[in-house]
Amino acid sequence: MNRRAFTFGLMALATPATAKTKPRAYQGAEIVEFATPEKPGTVIVNTEQRVLYHIISPDSAIRYGVAVGKEGFDWAGIARVGRKVAWPRWTPPAEMIRRKPELEEWRYGMPGGPKNPLGARALYLFDPKGDTGFRIHGTNEPSSIGSAASSGCIRMLNEEVSELYEQVKLGTKVIVL
C-alpha cells in the first residue's frame, strides 16, 4: 500500500486540493502516516478532503475515500458508534420525502439489499442526546465517492464499509470535521 504523511491537529489536516489541482481518482483504501493524540480505533472524517481515517496506531491510519453531505446537509461533531447493522433497512425522513415525493413508497422503510441507499453496512452515530440521524454507511452509487452527494451521511464503498464495520466496536469515538 502507498504511504503518505499527514499530521493531525483537530482543525488542521493535510492541505486540500485547490481549484487548480484536480484530485486524483480514488484508488482505494491505503495505510498512511497519521500522527494523532486520538486512541487507536477512533474514526476521523475530514469532510473537506472527503476522507475517513480509521486510526490503527499513534502514527498511522487506514484512509478511505468517502462521499459527504451536500451543502446545507453537512454535519460536524463528535459522536460514538451506537449501533451497527448489516444490510440495514432505510427509512427516508419526512423532510426528505417532502423534497422528493417519489420516496413516499418507502415511508415505512426499504428492506436491506443492493438497491438500498444505505448499502451493505451502517454505523449509526449517537451523541449524548441519542441518535444523531447521521450514519457512516455503504452506497449503491460508488461514483459518488469523493463528492458532496449525500443528505448528511458519510458514504463509503460497500466493500470498504464492510471492512470498517468488522473493525469498529460499539462505543467507538467518531470525529467529523
Residue in the block written with cell 480509521: 54
DSSP H helices, the chain, are: 94-99, 158-167
Spell out a b/e string for 34-67, using b for 16 or more CB atoms within 10 Å of the CB, else e.
bebebeeebbbbbbebbbbbbbbeeebbbbbbbb
- 13 pLDDT more than 80: no
- Position 30: which residue type? E
Model confidence, pTM: 0.83
Give tens-digit pLDDT for 100-123: 999 999 999 999 998 999 999 999
pLDDT at 24: 67
- What mean pLDDT do residues 73-88 have? 92
User: Mean pLDDT of all residues in the chain?
Assistant: 86
pLDDT score of 14: 37
Tell me the per-residue pLDDT of 22-46, one tens digit each, with 9 for 90 and over: 556 788 999 999 999 999 999 999 9
CA distance 161 to 66: 10
Residue identified by cell 453537512 is 74
Confidence tier at 73 by pLDDT (50, 70, 90): low
d(CA 177, CA 174): 10
- CATH number of the domain that 146 lies in? 2.40.440.10
Question: Which residue numbers are catalytic?
Answer: 137, 153
User: Lowest-pLDDT range, 3-7, 64-68, 123-127, 166-170?
Assistant: 3-7
Q: How far apart are CA 149 and CA 161, in angstroms?
A: 17
Task: Please count the structural domains in the chain.
Answer: 1
| 77: containing domain | 5-176
**Predicted pLDDT of residue 173:** 98
- Give me the phi and psi of 101, to 5 degrees please: -55, -25
pLDDT value at position 96?
86
